[in-house]
């Protein structure tokens, strides 16, 4: 894994902003979500806004919904209402329908 991370790092160094997110993906898929999060942060800092949504999804799937919501919140600021709806969906899956409604409302209002 360490060798692959070196390659992803080199890709990022030559302007491949997606490389950092892909490194985070590999770490997360190997069970290292906490190790992946700094890579996702770096991807976002390099301009890969998709890393915000991906990190939110991975955190939600790991049962870390509160952490996921903060990533979705930031993603919404960068890319519009989609992440707000996604956060609502995750809240519904967790049985928190009332909380989800507030996220859906925000998504609807940002669409208008």
pLDDT tens per residue across span 69-85: 999 999 988 778 899 99
* Segments in 1-112 forming alpha helices (H): 2-13, 17-29, 33-45, 50-61, 65-79, 82-93, 97-111
Sign of CA dihedral 50, 56, 60, 62: positive
Q: Residue 110: inside a domain, yes or no?
A: yes
Do 31 and 5 share a structural domain?
A: yes
Which of 14, 65, 74 minimizes the C-alpha distance to 44? 74
Do 39 and 11 share a structural domain?
A: yes
Q: Residue 58: inside a domain, yes or no?
A: no
Could you give phi then psi for residue 104, rounded to 5 degrees? -65, -40
The count of domains in the chain is 2
Do the beta carbons of residue 39 and residue 23 sit within 8 Å? Answer: yes
Check: pTM over 0.85? Answer yes or no: no
Give residue 83's domain range: 65-112
Average pLDDT over residues 14-35: 84
Q: Residue 7: inside a domain, yes or no?
A: yes
């Amino acid at each position: 894994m360490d060798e692959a991370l070196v390659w992803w790092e080199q890709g990022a160094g030559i302007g491949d902003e997606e490389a950092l997110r892909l490194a985070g993906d590999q770490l997360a898929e190997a069970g290292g979500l906490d190790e992946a999060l700094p890579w996702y942060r770096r991807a976002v800092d390099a301009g890969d806004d998709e890393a915000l949504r991906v990190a939110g999804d991975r955190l939600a799937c790991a049962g870390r919904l509160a952490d996921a919501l903060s990533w979705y919140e930031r993603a919404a600021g960068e890319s519009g209402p989609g992440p707000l709806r996604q956060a609502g969906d995750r809240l519904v899956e967790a049985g928190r329908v009332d909380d989800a409604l507030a996220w859906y409302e925000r998504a609807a209002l940002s669409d208008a």
